[in-house]
Structure 1
């Protein structure tokens, strides 16, 4: 079954039921709202919502993936299991999950005109590390790791679909993650020293919650400054303020 028309009291409920019946995630379908429905008044004039959910073909999925890579995506916080959308497949296998995930990444790279992609695989307990290498590494990383973060999130969704136990996919390109963390920690110390030296607060450019957390942690032992985040995504940013 590749398409279903579902009726429910609300649009959200109809979508949820349709996805469950199709056995797919929201990222794998297109959703058309045929009727928003009506709540009515005192039970009069109630009208259910109707949606049509269609499973994307392989090539359509890749096109949507490429479009999603243009949006700001945050890497999954592996310390918070609730963020991992962990729904395993009792009939699947972890080997199958890894194979499908690697193939999915290769398809994305191919659509990005990257034809020299090499993928090294390493497993450490529940963590599956996939190291990507290419002469076009900058394309895989994107601005401030935006593309890499989006690919990691999508890879996790693919793995969940085929795995029969809890695993976490971690993507990296040329040790970018480690280099980015070291860069942010060094920046954090410099900005903290500047805040203390000038006696004024210092504001960073907008960052993902994951990167703000790195800076918070890097400065957590200092007693001469405090750090906090202000604003709303995608413009939420971190502030360092000296303690006087």
Structure 2
């Protein structure tokens, strides 16, 4: 049995070009084919990706071919009027009336229609979507573990990452290493930075608004105790001086701990100021 190639693949030779960006790839195609971009048909094969810290980067790939110019056909005129056949018009009485088909309304199945808002979904549909989100997070977390190990290895730190728990929108990963201090960094700056990168990584994998917790050797629990002591000392300073105390910049998780700790204190109030990653907590007298 023989199969013929599709019509559009005949007579055209597509050439592939690569570049760091789309414009770089197009420029290479213009130089090779000696044609401006307006005279080229360009198809993006791979949009590429920049990667994070250079990991997983891919060049942009395109296919380019010179547009085929189709010349309009020249109409031929008859030399004598006798050659032109007269147009016969039908007698209106002999014309066959055309039937107009009315659209048939399709019957909607019982239950929730496709694309219905979440508030109108059935419990079975909600459970199915939740299961899909769990599966998506599980697959993305596996890729995130590999990314974290490669990224730390690029910094000269041998890390073994393990998923401790995961839900539809949250994941906790333990980072084990012979030198936990190099995993955590000064005041947790390195591990906090990797949390921000992890959220971006999961967003790229299709998990939106994910909550990522990276931990190493119980650092998060120890840091929570430290934050509690910082809040207690700051309250003492505010009451003694009557002036606000501006704390050092903290990640969102630690600021939330302070707000929760002092929300019922009758003597002080808390609020955050600044922009990430320099956003900090202010403890002021009421």
Bin for the TM-score computed over the shorter chain: 0.5 to 0.7
1:239 and 1:176 mapped to 2: Cα distance?
24
- The answer to whether the 8 A contact 1:212-1:238 is kept is yes
> 1: distance between equivalents of 2:217 and 2:198?
18
Partner of 1:119: 161
What does 1:155-234 align with in structure 2 at a 5 Å threshold? 155-162=198-205, 168-231=211-274
Secondary structure at the aligned position of 1:221 is classed as coil
Greater Cα radius of gyration, structure 1 or 2: 2
| Alignment gaps of 5+ in structure 2 | 1-17, 25-43, 58-131
Q: Give the direction of change, closer, same or farther, for the CA distance of 1:229–1:111 in structure 2 (3 Å limit).
A: same
Of the two structures, which has the highest relative contact order with CA contacts closer than 8 Å and spacing of 6 or more? 1
Once the two structures are superposed, residues 150-206 of structure 1 have per-residue CA deviations (whole angstroms, 9 ceiling, x without a partner) of 212222333344457986432111222222122112210121023213333323223
CA distance in 1, matches of 2:207, 2:236: 49
| CA separation of 1:93 and 1:23: change in aligned 2, threshold 3 A | farther
Where does the alignment leave 5 or more consecutive residues of structure 1 unmatched?
7-19, 30-55, 64-88
1:15 match:
none
Secondary structure at 1:228 match in 2: strand
Displacement of 1:236 after TM fit?
4.4
Deviation at 1:142? 1.8
SS state of the match for residue 60, structure 1? coil
Structure 1 residue ranges (4+ consecutive) displaced by more than 6 angstroms after TM superposition: none
Q: Residues 171 and 237 from structure 1, CA distance in 2 versus in 1: closer, same or farther, beyond 3 angstroms?
A: closer
Separation of aligned partners in 2, 1:202 and 1:166: 32
**Residues of 2 paired with 1:237 and 1:164: CA distance?**
28
Aligned to 1:60: 54
Partner residue of 1:102? 145
Shift of 1:133: 1.3
TM-score, normalised via structure 1 length: 0.57
The number of equivalent residue pairs is: 173
Give the Cα separation in 2 of the matches to 1:197 and 1:188.
14
Aligned pairs (5 A) from 1:143-162: 143-162=186-205
2 CA distance for matches of 1:151 and 1:161? 15
Give the match for residue 39 of structure 2.
Answer: none
State the partner residue of 1:4: 22
| Alpha-carbon distance in structure 2 between the residues aligned to 1:22 and 1:202 | 52
